[in-house]
Structure 1
C-alpha cells in the first residue's frame, strides 16, 4: 500500500553500467566512427587502445569514468520522479501536490529567538504516507484508509458553499482555511466495531503519542463534517494504548573501534527503529532490533537482553521506547 516503504527493485534501465563494459563500448563506438570517417586510422587507434601506457587510452578510460558518473547522476534524478524512490524534499513536495497534499508544519518555531528556532516540518516519509492515502479520500471517508487520511490531515478538506443568487446561475465556493491543529496527528486507524459503529484511534507527535483531549475533540469535530463522514457511521475518536518497552543489549567488538562512538551509533540506530515502529499497529521484533544494532555498529555479536519477546501491537496500540541501555565490550582474541 505504501511503495516508499517497500519499493520495487530498480529497473535495469536506470542502473549504471560497470566500468569495463562502458569502456569497451566507448572504444567500439570510437572505432565504428573512424570506420566511417577515417578508415586509414582505424588500425593505429585499435593498436593504441590495446596499450595501457598510451595517453589516448588513459583519456578514453577517464572519459568512461566521467560518462559513468553522468549516467549515475541522471539515474538518481530519474528516480526522484517516483514517490517510492524520492528522497529530495522539493521533489517529494511536488509529487504530493499532484493529489493536493501539502507538507504540514509540526512546530512553527521562533524567528525572534536567539539563536532563531527553525520550524519543524513533516518528514518525507510521513508526507508520502498521506500522499498514498489521499487517493482513498477523494470522495469522503468510509474506508479505513479514507478515515486515516482525514484524521492525519486536519483541515485538508475545503469548505464548499453552493449558492444560486439568480435563476440559471450557480456559484460554488471552495474555502481553504488553516487548521490550527494540522500536523499534530502522527497516525490514525479506524475500524468498524459493530454495524454502523466506527472507532478511530489517533496518535500524537508529542511525547509517547498519547493525544490530549483537545486533539481528540477537534479530530471528532472534523471527521463528523457532513462532507467527510458517512451518514451510516457513528464515529468515535479515541485515545490509543501505549505499550512501553526497553532496549538493553551488550555489544562485543574486536580491538580497535572507540567504544563510546559505537555506543552512540547503537543508541541512534535503536531510536530510529523505535521511531519507525512508533505507530498504530507497530511491531518490535527482537530479531530485527538485533540486526539493526549489528549493522549500525560493526559489532561481531550481541546479547539482546530486552526485549526478550516480540511486542506486536493491534490497530489501537503504538509501542513506545522508554529507555535504552547499551553496553559495549571489547574482546581480545
Structure 2
C-alpha cells in the first residue's frame, strides 16, 4: 500500500498557512482602519511580539485539527481504515457484522467476555463480499459464503388464504464462527464438481469436524448460494506441521539486546498469520522477522526448508524454541 495520500488529505505548509492567517487578519482590519492594519502587519511579522507568537500557536493548532479531520475522513475508505468502529461501519455496506469467535460466558465468575473477529478477518470478508453477487460460482464467491457461514437468511415467499403474498426472512442463530479459512477448487475442468477445503477454529491445528463440514456443505448447497450446475463437497484442510527453532546472537552488546520472550512473541505472531490455507512459510521472511528485533546475527535451525502448502493444506507451528546467546 502506497504511503502517498491524495491531495484532498494534504496538510497545508506551516509558513503558507501562517501567511494566509496574517493576510486575512490584516485585510479585515484594513477595512476599518488602514493605519491600524499597517501596525498589525508589522507586529505579526515580528516574532518577538506576543501577538505574532499567539498567531503562530493558532496556526499550529489548526494544522493539528486538519490532521485529525483528515485521519477520520480517511477512515471512510477501505484503503486507509484502521479504527475498529469504522471498520464495522464500512462492513455494513455489505450487511456484514463482526463475527463472534467465542461466545461470552456469564455462567462463571468472573464472567468471560466474547472473543470477537479481528479487524484483519472482517476486512478480508469485506474484500470478498462483492464476489457473492457473481453468478458463475467463483472461487472467491464460495469462499465468502464459507467464511460467513449461516449469516444469509432463508427467504420464503408464501401466498396466504387472504391472497396476501408474504415474504419471510429467517435468520439462523449463529453464536460462534468456526470457519477460519476456506479455499475452493474445481479439480476437473468443466465437471461442476467443486471441492471446498475448510480450516477450522475448533482445534488448534485447524482440523474441521464432520459436523462443521456438514454445516458448510448444507449452507453452500442452498439454492440461493450454489450454482445449479455445481456439485459441492467439503473436506477438512490437510495440516502440515512444522516447528521453529532459532538462535539469536547479541555479541554481548546492549545495542543488540533481545529477550527470549519478545522473540517468541514475534515468531508466534508470524506463525499465527500463516495459519491459513495455501500458504508458504518462507525461511527468509521468518529470518527477517527475527532480524527486526535487532540481534547481531540470526541462526535459523528449523524449519530446515520452506514449508509450502497446496490450496487445501495449511501450515501449523507445533512449537517455538528461541535461544539467545551473548556470543558473536
Give TM-score, length-normalised by structure 2.
0.87
CA distance 1:250–1:40, change in 2 (3 Å)? farther
CA distance 1:30–1:274, change in 2 (3 Å)? farther
| Alpha-carbon distance, 1:105 to partner | 0.7
Which residue matches 1:159?
154
Which residue matches 2:184?
190
* Residue ranges of structure 1 left out of the alignment (5+ in a row): 1-5
Is residue 257–residue 295 contact of structure 2 (8 Å, CA) maintained in 1?
A: no
Structure 2 residue matching 1:64: 3-state secondary structure: helix
Q: Which of 54, 70, 73 is the equivalent residue of 2:49?
A: 54
Which residue matches 1:3?
none
Is residue 7–residue 84 contact of structure 1 (8 Å, CA) maintained in 2?
A: no
Taking the aligned partners of 1:197 and 1:89, their CA distance within structure 2 comes to: 39
Taking the aligned partners of 2:245 and 2:290, their CA distance within structure 1 comes to: 11
CA distance 1:39–1:318, change in 2 (3 Å)? farther
Which residue matches 1:230?
227
Q: Which of 66, 75, 81 is the equivalent residue of 2:70?
A: 75
Which residue matches 2:276?
279
**How many positions carry a matched residue from both structures?**
324
CA RMSD of superposed structures (Å): 2.7
Which residue matches 2:253?
255
2:323 corresponds to 1:315: no
Is residue 248–residue 297 contact of structure 2 (8 Å, CA) maintained in 1?
A: yes
Give TM-score, length-normalised by structure 1.
0.86
Deviations 1:221-278, CA, capped at 9 Å, x for gaps:
2112222222211211011112223323333447336956x33222222222222221
Is residue 255–residue 331 contact of structure 1 (8 Å, CA) maintained in 2?
A: no
2:196 corresponds to 1:200: yes
Deviates more, 1:15-24 or 1:278-287: 15-24
1:33-112 pair list within 5 angstroms: 33-112=28-107
Deviates more, 1:6-15 or 1:125-134: 6-15
CA distance 1:298–1:234, change in 2 (3 Å)? same
Deviates more, 1:136-145 or 1:198-207: 136-145
CA distance 1:110–1:49, change in 2 (3 Å)? same
Taking the aligned partners of 1:37 and 1:267, their CA distance within structure 2 comes to: 70
CA distance 1:17–1:328, change in 2 (3 Å)? farther
* Residue ranges of structure 2 left out of the alignment (5+ in a row): none
Structure 2 residue matching 1:82: 3-state secondary structure: coil
Deviations 1:4-39, CA, capped at 9 Å, x for gaps:
xx5784323213345455444444444454455543
